[in-house]
Amino acid sequence: MPLRLVLLGPPASGKGTQGRRIAEREGLAYLSTGALLREELENEGPIAEEIRPVLARGGYVADDTMCRIMEPWLASHESAGWVLDGFPRTAAQDDFLGRWLDERGQSVDAAVALEVPQSELLGRIERRVECPQCRWSGQKSETDGGHCPKCGAVAGPRADDGRENFLRRFDEFALHALPVIERYARREKLIRCDATDDIGTVADRLARYIDSLSSHGQEA
């Protein structure tokens, strides 16, 4: 059975970095909705004008728009395992995902909640960069002297970063995503992970959680 995971956590909690690591290790597809939306803007896609002002003020895209963007991606990965980063971000999006999977006899295997205090997140925001070529994003210290570790292009600050944007997104997270985390806790499908340590330590911790998940799956 392919593993289907959702990553939940406040902005800058390391969802992108950890999500890609999990995907590589487990052989899963990885989707960052943030990168998907920024790509839509750059390619002047059909919903670019609708989402541009929302993203410009650091807000989140409306649920129905988000689901419209997600549907084709899910459809093209129907038989694959995946890690979703940035979706579902609200209870309504989680309802959509649950229905979509249920219609295919599938479900989310686990939600991973990355936990980092707000003060630590603010520091990370100030050090974060992204590659304009391949969409890699991470901390400045992870670059190769300012160059993307994946493709070598010059990585720069992310367009949606900044203290004000962060605080607005953090509030949105607390309001809309915390209830989603609680849902997965009630379904006993939540993995809470302390994500304050360095990237390698957090990745190892997550790998152990995910290993125990798949060994349970085999026993069942």
Interface with Zn ion (CB under 5 A): 131, 133-134, 136, 148, 150-151, 153
- CB nearer to Zn ion: pick between 146 and 179: 146
Q: Is 179 labelled a binding residue? A: no
CB of 50 to Zn ion, least distance (A): 28
CB of 135 to Zn ion, least distance (A): 7
H-helix segments, the chain: 15-26, 33-42, 48-56, 63-76, 91-102, 118-126, 163-172, 178-186, 199-219
- CB nearer to Zn ion: pick between 116 and 155: 155
State the helix-helix crossing angle for 48-56 and 33-42, rounded to 10 degrees: 120
- CB nearer to Zn ion: pick between 107 and 133: 133
Q: Is 99 labelled a binding residue? A: no
Is the CA virtual torsion 85, 108, 188, 22 positive or negative? negative
Determine the residue type at 73. W
- Distance of alpha carbon 115 from alpha carbon 118, whole angstroms: 9
CB of 138 to Zn ion, least distance (A): 10
| Binding annotation for AMP | 33, 38, 59-61, 86-89, 93, 158, 169
